[in-house]
Structure 1
Amino acid sequence: MHTLFKKTPLAGGVAVALLAFSGAASAAESTPASQQGDTVVVNATTPDSQFNAGSNDLVPAYLDGQIANGGRLGVLGEQKAEDVPFSIIGYTAKLIQDQQARTLTDVLDNDASVESSYGYGNFSENYVIRGFSLAADDISFGGLYGLMPRQIAPTFFAERVELLKGSSAFLNGVPPGGTGVGGNVNIEPKRADDTPLNRVSLDYTSSSQVGGSLDVGRRFGEDNRFGARVNLIHREGETAIDGEKRRLTGGSLGLDYRGDRLRGSLDVGAMRQTVHGGRPVVYLGSATSVPEVPKATGNYGQQWAYTDLESEFGMLKGEYDLAEHWTAYGAFGMSHNHEYGKYGSPTLVGDDGDATMSRMTVPYFSDTVAGNTGLRGSFDTGFVNHSVNLGYSQTYTKTRSAYTLTSASVATNIYSPVATSEPLTNLYSGGDMGDPHVRSRIRNEGYNLSDTLSVLDGRVQLIGGLRRQSIAVRNYNYNGVESNTFDETKVTPAFGLVVKPWQHISLYANHIEALQAGDTAGTTYNGKTVTNGGQTAGVAISKQNEVGVKADFGRVAASLALFEIKKPESMYTASGDSYTFGNYGEVRTRGMEVSLYGEPVYGVRLNGSLSLLDPTLTQTQDGTYDGKKAVGVPRYHWVVSGEYDIPGVTGLTATGKVIRTGSQYADEANNLELAAWTRLDLGVRYDMNLPVNNIVWRAGVENVTNERYWSSANGGYLTQGDPREVKVSMTVDF
């Protein structure tokens, strides 16, 4: 049996995290608040003057509080974007509330670097960042992988959603799902603010979803050092898609202690989500052209199809100041996910919308234990300041699953869906449906060392780092018998440079990598033996180079990034009378990103971004698709959102957002091309600003024109965009 902490440095990290709570009371008593050096942070978002770079303090929000110019950079902690050679931005709880963002996808719709889609055969919310996939499994929570719900991440417990654009093996290690070559997403939990909070919200979403939530926060004790934040939510009903019903019930508790030398937090949460009769993806099958898009509210799924998702998670974190400039830190987290679903997606059998469907039933369990520990500090050598970090991290995930699959006996049409009874005769099956066997064990662990050298009062910074990363995978067949193993270690570097030639301008460059286990070889190819059949093709090392400029003029901030990412692809190469399988192929993505946000004129707030990509298949199997464009990656994508405070009516604000996505291919031969699409969202917000029991009303319409469009071809299948959707909410602060 695998023991995660046996003889590993992670045990020390757990000790630091536990110390933060076991010693909290005594620490509060032993050090008077008036003592010099005492730092008490009591706001959920740290004031700019108190922000401690590299710690767990959240980067201060920008102006109106919807966007934060920075976020968590793995081993480097929370950092302002202007001080680091990486592209990162944060979206706050205020933006989540003002936009009535229900899930992580609603939040990430604000950034042009991100595309969203459904998972393969289920309702998982997956993403494409800089042209490469990020699975919902690989979203981090407080910097730890594997703790979030596996398919759909709600936002009710999120204080911050942080988007890191670009590869990040050195910074974040390797997520259990092995995705995230082009970027990562981290969710930070809510914290109690200095002002007591008693908030009740009621919401409605078309066509008949009704929900309510409770958000309570308190700080107490000497200097408000202890904090507690409770969030509860329930929402259910039919969506704007015909016959699709969704339900969410969840709760979270966040406790924290902020002292002069000791800081700690504990976060726990549980939630259950269901999707009944959901609209699935569409497989292209034998179609020779991309089908016309069905009506916006149409549902070509079956009412017997559903997914039931249960998640529980917990995270304990701690920091202790050993000396004036030296801090030990640690974090430990666990999660359990249980899913049971009956899935059915149409596979096209022609160009007129005719399709067949089968029923696949899957019970799925995952258990994850994750943690990190380390030491960070700073010192001077002559005129050079060094900020160093030595750390260790590990993520261990075990999955169990089984399945039954019927024949493609359901005949339907995506334009005129045929409702059928559930097919009951299984054609294929694997594992024990009542008690599934272990299917995989994944252990990713790494040691990291970094040094940020700073001169000229921080106007020139050079970051260098190394991570020794191990990826160990054990796969099992559905009977629980080990089928193949993989265990490999690589050293991955990172280099970055920041130069601030003027007060408001930062120039930067970086080289960083992403690591993931390669695919598994078949035993034969083209009728010939594969010399390493059944083995994994080793660790695939993706490499990114990026240069850019960032500007912050106080009321407006902007950035420009140019980058190239080369990702290896597994394929076969001839060797005499046999073949060898390895990471010989390559996908190369070159791109440009532009962003602009702020309040250029009082009462007018803007947030805009543009992504231009050239995703090229440079080395493919037998050269068949060399020079073709990667599947599911649009060549351009831009997002512009804004708010306008209506003159003469205090508290009344008009809101809007426009999303434009360019065409993309659904096949490697580039014969099937999705059309470009545009979505318009409009809304209004009225803050009554009452001295007691303040009330805020919000109303919004997403996809105002009820546009019909295929939103994504990620994975080689079609995801249809949501129809017009009305959202209304009332929030009362008592």
Structure 2
Amino acid sequence: MKRYSGRSRAASVPRVVARRFARPVRLGVGVGVGLSVGLMAANVIAATAALADQTDQAQAATPTTPADKAAPPVAASASNAVLPTVTVNGASGNAWRARTASVAGYDNASLQNTPASITVVTRAQLDDQQAKRLSDVVRNDASVNKDYAPVGYYEGFSIRGFALDPASAYRLDGLTLSGEQQVALENKERVEILKGLAGIDSGVISPGGVVNYVSKRPENVASVTAGVDSRGSTSAAVDLGRRFGPDDQFGLRVNAAKENMHSYIDGTNGRRTFGSIAADWNIDPRASLQLNAEFQQWIQRSASGYQLLGGTVVPSAVSSSKLLGAQSWAKPVTTDALNINGRFDYAFNDNWRAYVAAGRSRTMIDDNVAFAYGCYYVSSCGAGGTSPYFFSSNGDYDVYDYRSPGEYRRNDEMRVAVDGKFTTGPLRHDVLFGTSALHRVVHLSDAVYDYVGSENIYGDDVDFAPSPNSPSVSYPQLDAWQYSLFATDRVSLGEHWEVLAGGRAVFLRQKAWTSQDGPETGTDKSALLPQIALVYKPVAPLSLYASYSKDLSLGDQAPVRASNAYAFLPPVESHQYEIGAKYDWANRLSLTAAVFSISKPFQYAEPDASEAGYTFVQRGTERHDGIELSASGRVTERVSVTASVAAIRARAYDSGTPAYEGHQVINVPALRAALNADWSVPGLAGFDLLGGIEYSSSRNANEEGTARVPGWIVFNAGARYTTKLAGHRTVVRLWVDNLFNRYYWSDAGEQQGDAYLFLGAPRTARLSVTYDF
């Protein structure tokens, strides 16, 4: 599978790429936050008991949730609210439509006026679609694709055709996560997806974009949710919150969940446990403090992906339920994830505000799998010139005992920023400036990765003896720092024109090791990342913009089969040009369009005369040109929709290897679309019918473009019924993924020079009941 835990000891695996060849290179966060896990657990338990006892009194005293009290008084006068409120719209389906986001440099910025392409999936849509993981969320955006997302392991994605870096592309409340985890959704208010370069907001990052999870804030709420699906999975979750104190200046919210997962792939069942706490303190009308902590343990067997047969043919008639390389001794993958952050806001007056935010995100993974890869050890492998890095042309493949315990990754970050408003003559300025520090640490072991036997994708499972070898102890493999200074000024020139200009100065310093006693390698790099945008508003509902952004991302790591195995290529610069339009139709439907072009150096395994046959290089340009269309809101009083279309032309140029040019790059469909609708049924109060359609055109399954997986259409359907039981609001939800049980390849991602294929999940129905008390 994808991320081999670091740098492979390939001696026991001749000419074979290690599973999960992880890039331990990416950045992290500057200062740890002094919150102990023990204290968090104690607070969760104590708060849960107290809230359970006080809920009835709170409901009697507070008939409606005072959303205005969830934020300090300064929030009413500042465009960047200290503690953002949660807006609940009464019209059918209107809760699917968001109006603000926090991923474009400013807190809670208006989507209509932000010169960037942003999708927000709201809490209401997460609930209606019964989303459990990020792959359930991003299917609402046609620009986002799976990019190596196996069952039982953390998922990979691409935006606009560029793979997201798990070490820097995922955020929680604006602070960097260690993305090697399945982030829980029970305590999230919304998920924001910024598409394209985000240099001012993000610094060193892959050019695809950013995914930001926004936590629920404390308010008076008490609910329990129970769920089941058609495969036997069960789940239970509780959401308890309360504001208290003489002026409701204190707030506390606890979320907890337990899930037993029954997968559609045989032998990959699992379980997870989750708990979180969010606390607010509105210290006075100018100052506020918020703290968040969450912990999740995810235990599940992981599934290997298929590979091209003979390196050129997509497997056919294989079962979506088959676990490749199934072995009785294979242990599950265990992932423990802890995310903590805090933020202090202070408003000097109605126009000027400052904040300090800090966070820590830590993952610990025991990675175990009987991994299916290549065909080096089977006699059929050489038939017809088959490469050992693919399955044999008749379906034979090798099985490896892979064990990598104690994979430790930690991101620490601190950010200090000031934003304010002022005028200079006829010009109005909205400025933001500050500094941040990001520190990433990775500890990995020398994993066991030993051949144990060979099987066939169409044959019965064969049990082999596991390897007698043991992995080494975990040791440091990466220590990376990123410091940055950033500033931006949004200048309004009258009622119709705005200019946004700014940039981020980035200073990157990192050290890496390939073994416990191996030599240290280092990288020192600095860059200035500018961003400029012009916005024109001819009429109030319409906003037109044009923008340019420059970004810096770390070079890829050479795969083990290359002559320069494990080498890290130099950092690369990316450039993006984008023009777009946003229209707010009748204050009920948001319509957006964007045209973009993103380019970066092309990184690939170049065939050559070396003993390995390949050298990993940067040569030429990879350019993705595309068009995005989207809609969100109410079409009629009873029908609401979210819709997304993305057409992307992704090509390599001037690489010196003609086989890699003239066609779409691997795993990027030329056209993707997603449509979801909510219809409030007339005459049936509280009853809504839900539906969705996902479409993907065919995509290349290898770099040469000689193998393709077919396009597909998947239909989803559901219903929501809202009523009262014993005087308490109760919501029953049904959602069916892949309604017509379509058989399709959902993912043809490449990872470190190897291509993998994953089948989409068959039809799955989910039923849940939420009861407010």
Is TM more than 0.5 here?
yes
- Choose the corresponding residue for 1:356, options 359, 384, 398: 398
Shift of 1:628: 2.9
Tell me: CA distance 1:168–1:60, structure 2 relative to 1, closer, same or farther (3 Å). Answer: farther
Match of 1:693 in 2: 728
2:128–2:735 contact (8 Å) kept in structure 1: no
Give, as a single letter, the amino acid of the residue that structure 2 aligns with 1:366: R
- Choose the corresponding residue for 2:172, options 135, 141, 149: 141
Match of 1:4 in 2: none
For 1:46-92, what per-residue CA distance to the aligned partner results, in whole angstroms no more than 9, with x for missing partners? 99987724766368577621231331135322211111211112112
SS of residue matched to 1:323: coil
Query: Aligned runs of 1:304-453 on 2, under 5 Å?
Result: 304-347=330-373, 348-363=390-405, 364-421=407-464, 423-426=466-469, 432=472, 435-453=473-491
Is 1:481 aligned to residue 518 of structure 2? yes
Match of 1:35 in 2: none
SS of residue matched to 1:65: helix
Give, as a single letter, the amino acid of the residue that structure 2 aligns with 1:676: G
Match of 1:264 in 2: 289
* Distance in 2 between residues matched to 1:344 and 1:522, nearest whole Å: 21
Give, as a single letter, the amino acid of the residue that structure 2 aligns with 1:386: H
Shift of 1:583: 4.3
1:13–1:329 contact (8 Å) kept in structure 2: no
Match of 1:467 in 2: 504
Match of 2:234 in 1: 210
Is 1:88 aligned to residue 118 of structure 2? yes
Match of 2:764 in 1: 725
Match of 2:51 in 1: none
- Of all paired residues, the percent bearing the same amino acid is 26
Give, as a single letter, the amino acid of the residue that structure 1 aligns with 2:170: I
For 1:281-310, what per-residue CA distance to the aligned partner results, in whole angstroms no more than 9, with x for missing partners? 223373321111523333325252520000
Shift of 1:449: 1.2
* Distance in 1 between residues matched to 2:634 and 2:74, nearest whole Å: 19
Give, as a single letter, the amino acid of the residue that structure 2 aligns with 1:169: G
* Distance in 2 between residues matched to 1:45 and 1:649, nearest whole Å: 40
Match of 2:380 in 1: none
Give, as a single letter, the amino acid of the residue that structure 1 aligns with 2:582: K
* Distance in 2 between residues matched to 1:525 and 1:334, nearest whole Å: 35
Shift of 1:411: 2.1
* Distance in 2 between residues matched to 1:11 and 1:323, nearest whole Å: 28
Between stretches 250-259 and 513-522, larger displacement belongs to 513-522
Match of 2:660 in 1: 625
Tell me: CA distance 1:117–1:518, structure 2 relative to 1, closer, same or farther (3 Å). Answer: closer
* Distance in 1 between residues matched to 2:605 and 2:126, nearest whole Å: 46
2:80–2:109 contact (8 Å) kept in structure 1: yes
Query: Aligned runs of 1:583-732 on 2, under 5 Å?
Result: 583-690=618-725, 692-715=727-750, 716-732=755-771
* Distance in 1 between residues matched to 2:572 and 2:82, nearest whole Å: 31
* Distance in 2 between residues matched to 1:190 and 1:587, nearest whole Å: 39
Shift of 1:135: 3.8
1:402–1:437 contact (8 Å) kept in structure 2: yes
Shift of 1:346: 2.4
- Choose the corresponding residue for 2:600, options 567, 571, 575: 567
Tell me: CA distance 1:47–1:239, structure 2 relative to 1, closer, same or farther (3 Å). Answer: farther
Match of 2:192 in 1: 162
Shift of 1:233: 0.4
SS of residue matched to 1:268: strand
Tell me: CA distance 1:225–1:296, structure 2 relative to 1, closer, same or farther (3 Å). Answer: same
* Distance in 1 between residues matched to 2:211 and 2:562, nearest whole Å: 38
1:59–1:79 contact (8 Å) kept in structure 2: no
Match of 2:19 in 1: none
Between stretches 41-50 and 152-161, larger displacement belongs to 41-50
Give, as a single letter, the amino acid of the residue that structure 2 aligns with 1:242: D
For 1:677-711, what per-residue CA distance to the aligned partner results, in whole angstroms no more than 9, with x for missing partners? 11111111111145722211111211112211111
Tell me: CA distance 1:275–1:135, structure 2 relative to 1, closer, same or farther (3 Å). Answer: farther
* Distance in 2 between residues matched to 1:156 and 1:630, nearest whole Å: 36
SS of residue matched to 1:171: helix
Q: Which has the larger strand fraction?
A: 1
SS of residue matched to 2:126: helix
For 1:343-377, what per-residue CA distance to the aligned partner results, in whole angstroms no more than 9, with x for missing partners? 23323533343322212111201122111002111
SS of residue matched to 2:512: strand
Shift of 1:408: 3.4
Q: Which runs of 4+ in 1 moved over 6 A?
A: 9-14, 44-51, 521-526, 571-574, 579-582
SS of residue matched to 1:695: strand
SS of residue matched to 1:97: helix
SS of residue matched to 2:137: helix
Is 1:541 aligned to residue 573 of structure 2? yes
Tell me: CA distance 1:523–1:188, structure 2 relative to 1, closer, same or farther (3 Å). Answer: closer
SS of residue matched to 1:96: helix
Is 1:230 aligned to residue 254 of structure 2? yes
1:45–1:57 contact (8 Å) kept in structure 2: no
Structure 1: runs of 5 or more not aligned: 1-8, 15-38
* Distance in 2 between residues matched to 1:173 and 1:41, nearest whole Å: 34
Give, as a single letter, the amino acid of the residue that structure 2 aligns with 1:496: A
Shift of 1:417: 4.6
SS of residue matched to 1:57: coil
Tell me: CA distance 1:102–1:580, structure 2 relative to 1, closer, same or farther (3 Å). Answer: closer
Tell me: CA distance 1:290–1:172, structure 2 relative to 1, closer, same or farther (3 Å). Answer: same
* Distance in 1 between residues matched to 2:504 and 2:577, nearest whole Å: 18
* Distance in 1 between residues matched to 2:736 and 2:159, nearest whole Å: 26
2:309–2:315 contact (8 Å) kept in structure 1: no
Is 1:290 aligned to residue 314 of structure 2? yes
Give, as a single letter, the amino acid of the residue that structure 2 aligns with 1:143: G
* Distance in 1 between residues matched to 2:532 and 2:135, nearest whole Å: 31
Paired positions, count: 680
Shift of 1:585: 2.5
Match of 1:17 in 2: none
Q: Which one scores higher on RCO, CA 8 angstroms, separation ≥ 6?
A: 2
For 1:647-703, what per-residue CA distance to the aligned partner results, in whole angstroms no more than 9, with x for missing partners? 211111111111011111111110111100111111111111457222111112111
Tell me: CA distance 1:314–1:198, structure 2 relative to 1, closer, same or farther (3 Å). Answer: same
Give, as a single letter, the amino acid of the residue that structure 2 aligns with 1:729: S
Give, as a single letter, the amino acid of the residue that structure 1 aligns with 2:538: P
SS of residue matched to 2:451: coil
Is 1:127 aligned to residue 127 of structure 2? no
Tell me: CA distance 1:589–1:321, structure 2 relative to 1, closer, same or farther (3 Å). Answer: same
Tell me: CA distance 1:483–1:445, structure 2 relative to 1, closer, same or farther (3 Å). Answer: same
* Distance in 2 between residues matched to 1:730 and 1:50, nearest whole Å: 39
Between stretches 471-480 and 666-675, larger displacement belongs to 471-480
* Distance in 2 between residues matched to 1:46 and 1:555, nearest whole Å: 28
Between stretches 337-346 and 517-526, larger displacement belongs to 517-526
SS of residue matched to 1:282: coil
Structure 2: runs of 5 or more not aligned: 1-28, 35-65, 374-389
* Distance in 2 between residues matched to 1:237 and 1:534, nearest whole Å: 36
* Distance in 2 between residues matched to 1:728 and 1:40, nearest whole Å: 30
For 1:199-232, what per-residue CA distance to the aligned partner results, in whole angstroms no more than 9, with x for missing partners? 0111112311111111001111233222111000
Tell me: CA distance 1:672–1:51, structure 2 relative to 1, closer, same or farther (3 Å). Answer: farther
Is 1:171 aligned to residue 201 of structure 2? yes
Tell me: CA distance 1:666–1:727, structure 2 relative to 1, closer, same or farther (3 Å). Answer: same
